[in-house]
Structure 1
């Protein structure tokens, strides 16, 4: 980030005079993060690699404020002097958060489940419908196109080995019931949950939040680690995972991500860094994809939990 850009950010968001050159801090799938130090403190400036509408950014900030008011710790989003979230800039749009000093170390499944429970209890009204990315299957024809563009690539063998299962598992996908939809984080995982240097659990990366069914977001987390569910219930989370269709969101996202990474990994317009990241994601995802067999095994394990519940008992939401 150029010094001129940093000074423009400081001016527009009223952060005070810049005291040091911006420092590159991290890279995510959809953007870069820079640390900006000014006379008023330190700030995280996010440089988005995709265009985001101001009304969408405004909606995610409103949810972040609702979560913060409910006691969830997160880096405070900053609006500019005109009340806007996004600063249109070249080559990429920018937005600002208060800087959070984060500690090294792994997040446990119990912490992840408890965080999900607290977020789901916010019950913030959803804006609009659930995006197809989170609700629609990829479809047989699109899957075979993914296989075609993957031919000769290092992940092609792994994809071919599970292609039939990836197509078959989309049978569980059902359209979300509007009565069950609320605003969810939609990107909650161990990478976006960190301890601060002061020992406080902090939830990051809220830009992907939006309409979803809590039971489906919970199912996506349970598919990663069953211990999440026990912690979620004990923390008073309102959702329950009881049926294959509760994995609709996880199955839909799995499909769209695999297609996205396959196209990025083979895209001539992409940087080598982006292609390398995509190849790594493909290796990880194809090593243990979510299948009908895995869903059945997960639900069987949860039935044992439902038969012998422990801790706090919250009423399930309509998506349970």
Structure 2
């Protein structure tokens, strides 16, 4: 599920449709623009292209606003200068709404981060981000406050800042093979510059990629969803008793290669386009210990399994990785254990959020995710098909 920005650009959506058309024609040369427009509309949660265009007009006419004090206090916290204009809304994400802040010293992208993301976490992510930028990866330049901190508490939330960077439309499924190949090159570049880590992954230890909710917690989620009268209770039960249990049975295997501090979230929703099929990586906050094999499995899942993926995307990602690194990690079902754990936790958390949502933004986001999780579930069969495809 994709989400329109707060002030959507219809020209960007047209470009997204043209990009999707290019990918569709790789599989079906007879595909036409209306097919791509319908695919774009569907990914944004609309039945038709005209319905999507109508929502664009509605959003542009009623953009969200922020208290003037928020702009002033963010500028003061990060020493960004004197505010010149009200905050401009950019988009609502799973961590909250991001804004453009203009001061007499320039323009900035400001956004909230999760409560657990303190300065140590973001500083680590920022070091990787700067290493990757130096190696040619396109990414915004992070900003720190006078005291060196990358995270500041403002109006009850943790915030971080990047220098403003202009970039193009979002990337939607299916992606052209040229884009998927570039994803592989970028991932290999990040692995090339990643900092070494002595971390050892311990299954079921605390952490989004390792902890798994136990049976009692899933039962409580189902009972609470049912008690709240939510219409997706039966869907949650079917997921839990079906595909999620099969995913849980995939065994864990300790990495044979050294761990590194890597980006940990190179998914299709965390990039924007740039000229010549280049990509801008806009989300680095989850950076942490990973091994290249496991992260490659994660990237393949998001670019070649989720959504209406291009049948050639997986092979293109691997080809791009090899172009940069010379070789690519071997994969088997156990390579996806961390990806599966992340999916289990994402599923659990989105059902919680949809049930307990506060405000229209959070409710709309969570319910959109539920529609995707229910209609297009991640399965072991899809992993097996991907691995078979890579052997062809």
Q: Is the 8 A contact 1:78 1:98 kept in 2?
A: yes
Q: Is the 8 A contact 2:87 2:101 kept in 1?
A: yes
**SS of 1:135's equivalent?**
coil
Which residue in the other structure is 2:349 paired with?
A: 260
Alignment pair present for 1:122 and 2:193: yes
Matches within 5 A, 1:98-113: 98-106=163-171, 108=175, 109-113=180-184
Q: Identify the match of residue 222 of structure 2 among 140, 144, 147.
A: 147
Q: Is the 8 A contact 1:127 1:183 kept in 2?
A: no
* Deviations 1:273-320 (CA, angstroms, capped at 9, x unpaired): 21221121122123232323222222211222xxxxxxxxxxxxxxxx
Q: Identify the match of residue 290 of structure 1 among 378, 383, 392.
A: 378
CA distance in 2, matches of 1:122, 1:196: 22
Which residue in the other structure is 2:294 paired with?
A: 216
Cα shift at 1:198: 9.4
Q: Is the 8 A contact 1:48 1:93 kept in 2?
A: yes
Farther-moved stretch of structure 1 (64-73 vs 3-12): 3-12
Matches within 5 A, 1:79-228: 79-106=144-171, 108=175, 109-126=180-197, 132-151=207-226, 152-162=229-239, 163-174=241-252, 176-177=254-255, 180-196=258-274, 200-224=278-302, 225=304, 226-227=314-315, 228=317
Instruction: Report how many residues are paired.
Output: 303
Q: Identify the match of residue 11 of structure 1 among 76, 83, 92.
A: 76
- After TM superposition, the score normalised by the length of structure 1 is 0.84
Which residue in the other structure is 1:36 paired with?
A: 101
Cα shift at 1:200: 5.0
Farther-moved stretch of structure 1 (23-32 vs 161-170): 161-170
For residues 5 and 140 of structure 1, do their structure 2 counterparts lie closer, same or farther at Cα, with a shift above 3 Å needed?
Answer: closer
Which residue in the other structure is 1:307 paired with?
A: none
- Unaligned stretches of 5+ residues in structure 1: 305-320
For residues 2 and 63 of structure 1, do their structure 2 counterparts lie closer, same or farther at Cα, with a shift above 3 Å needed?
Answer: same
Cα shift at 1:257: 0.5
CA distance in 1, matches of 2:170, 2:365: 22
Q: Is the 8 A contact 1:121 1:238 kept in 2?
A: no
For residues 179 and 234 of structure 1, do their structure 2 counterparts lie closer, same or farther at Cα, with a shift above 3 Å needed?
Answer: closer
Cα shift at 1:24: 1.6
Which residue in the other structure is 1:25 paired with?
A: 90
For residues 230 and 287 of structure 1, do their structure 2 counterparts lie closer, same or farther at Cα, with a shift above 3 Å needed?
Answer: farther
For residues 117 and 263 of structure 1, do their structure 2 counterparts lie closer, same or farther at Cα, with a shift above 3 Å needed?
Answer: same
CA distance in 2, matches of 1:176, 1:274: 36
CA distance in 2, matches of 1:197, 1:41: 24
Alignment pair present for 1:272 and 2:363: no
* Deviations 1:88-110 (CA, angstroms, capped at 9, x unpaired): 12131222110111212536333
Which residue in the other structure is 1:66 paired with?
A: 131
Which residue in the other structure is 1:55 paired with?
A: 120
- After TM superposition, the score normalised by the length of structure 2 is 0.70
Cα shift at 1:197: 7.1
Q: Is the 8 A contact 2:253 2:335 kept in 1?
A: no
For residues 237 and 17 of structure 1, do their structure 2 counterparts lie closer, same or farther at Cα, with a shift above 3 Å needed?
Answer: farther
Cα shift at 1:17: 2.3
- Unaligned stretches of 5+ residues in structure 2: 1-65, 305-313
Alignment pair present for 1:240 and 2:305: no
Cα RMSD over matched residues? 2.6
Q: Is the 8 A contact 2:197 2:258 kept in 1?
A: no
CA distance in 2, matches of 1:136, 1:294: 23
CA distance in 2, matches of 1:214, 1:117: 8
For residues 287 and 272 of structure 1, do their structure 2 counterparts lie closer, same or farther at Cα, with a shift above 3 Å needed?
Answer: same
